[in-house]
């Protein structure tokens, strides 16, 4: 059984984070840097509307007190080979990937100097943050598309290599809102060695380098552990059949709960000795 492996400090958001009200998730993002001196880099790689995304996040992060905000705009693959873009990553203390299409991220930066700079930033412990498509791309295997709001079906899921800031995990976002439990179960059935993680909207996991994920936000995070699966009918034969799986473990966590990604176990914060 493979263990989860981490490359840096991560904040993985299930999409649709509050940008107008209390902004609790984005406040937690800003707590990870010195708002007066550090640079926050917004990567608009995933979206086909980078100017609009840049304007939106400049505004919200500015309202939260961040003084130094730069934009990593990579709209064509040649942009990933521009030295200035790699330098922006080197200077940044936190890199924030917006939503859009996760295949845009991997196809535009994969194997490029910008990709190498991102991986190096993770190794140095810089915070890498992603929302929606920017969340899916965090893992080494990412969900690209699959049937939603239906019973899981064999071979009904399309997956692709991600960036790999977190390995042996599959991440899905907009989870409860788009009825994605079936497709995450399919992913885990196809790859029982990986941990499935589904994150609701306006909800996030904050993952440290020791593999502890803390839940933040208004929704839930679902951890699907297939390491003890005793039977599944996954195969390409009769691929339209409903998927059958035995002995899958499901953990559902709310804000403040924590999950040990290495040991694949949830836990509550220990009460202080002064508490009754």
What are 10-54's pLDDT values in tens digits?
Answer: 999 999 999 999 999 999 999 999 999 999 999 999 999 999 999
Confidence class for position 276, pLDDT limits 50, 70, 90: very low
Does the structure show a pLDDT above 60 at 186? yes
pLDDT of 106-163, one tens digit each?
Answer: 999 999 999 999 999 999 999 999 999 999 999 999 999 887 777 777 666 889 999 9
Q: Is 238 a known active-site residue?
A: no
Catalytic residue among 17, 174, 201, 214: 174
Catalytic residue among 132, 139, 201, 214: 132
**DSSP output for the chain:** -PPPEE-SEEEEE-S---SSS--HHHHHHHTTS-TTTSEEEEE-TT-S-HHHHHHHHHHHHHHTT--EEEEE---SGGGGG-HHHHHHHHH-SEEEE-SS-HHHHHHHHTTSHHHHHHHHHHHTT-EEEEETHHHHTTBSEEEEEE--SS--BTT-EEEEE---SEESEEEE-STTTTT-HHHHHHHHHH-TTSEEEEE-TTEEEEE-TTSEEEEEESS-EEEEE-TT--EE--SSTTTTSBP-EES-EEEEE-TT-EEETTTTEEEPPPPPTT--
Does the structure show a pLDDT above 90 at 3? no
Average pLDDT over residues 179-195: 93
- pLDDT at site 154: 67
* Mean model confidence pLDDT for the chain: 92
Q: What residues does 212 pair with on adjacent strands?
A: 260
Count of residues making up the chain = 276
Tokens coding 211: 């593999």
- pLDDT at site 162: 96
Confidence class for position 230, pLDDT limits 50, 70, 90: very high
Average pLDDT over residues 82-101: 98
Q: Is 251 a known active-site residue?
A: no
Catalytic residue among 48, 90, 150, 235: 150
Q: Is 132 a known active-site residue?
A: yes
What domains sit in the chain, N to C, each tagged with a CATH number?
5-264 (3.40.50.880)
Query: 93-102, 107-116, 234-243: which has the minimum mean pLDDT?
Result: 234-243
């Amino acid at each position: 059984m493979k263990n989860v492996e981490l490359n840096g400090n991560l904040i993985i958001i299930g999409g649709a984070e509050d940008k107008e009200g209390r902004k609790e998730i984005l406040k937690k993002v800003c707590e990870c840097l010195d708002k007066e001196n550090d640079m926050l880099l917004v990567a608009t790689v995933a979206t086909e509307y980078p100017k609009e995304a840049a304007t939106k996040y400049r505004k919200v992060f500015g309202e939260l007190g961040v003084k130094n905000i730069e934009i990593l705009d990579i709209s064509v693959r040649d942009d990933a080979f521009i030295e200035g873009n790699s330098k922006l990553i080197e200077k940044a203390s936190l890199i924030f990937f917006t939503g859009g299409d996760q295949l845009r991220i991997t196809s535009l930066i994969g194997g490029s100097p910008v990709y190498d700079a991102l991986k190096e930033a993770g190794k140095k412990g810089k915070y890498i943050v992603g929302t929606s498509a920017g969340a899916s791309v965090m893992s080494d295997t990412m969900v690209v598309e699959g049937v939603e709001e239906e019973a899981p079906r064999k071979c009904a899921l399309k997956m692709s290599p991600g960036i790999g800031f977190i390995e042996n995990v599959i991440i899905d976002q907009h989870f409860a809102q788009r009825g994605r439990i079936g497709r995450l179960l399919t992913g885990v059935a196809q790859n029982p060695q990986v941990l499935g993680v589904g994150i609701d909207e306006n909800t996030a996991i904050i993952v440290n380098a020791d593999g502890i994920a803390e839940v933040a936000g208004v929704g839930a995070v679902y951890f699907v552990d297939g390491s003890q699966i005793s039977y599944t009918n996954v195969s390409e034969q009769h691929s339209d059949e409903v998927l059958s799986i035995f002995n899958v473990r499901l953990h559902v966590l709310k804000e403040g709960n924590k999950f040990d990604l290495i040991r694949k176990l949830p836990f509550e914060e220990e009460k202080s000795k002064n508490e009754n």
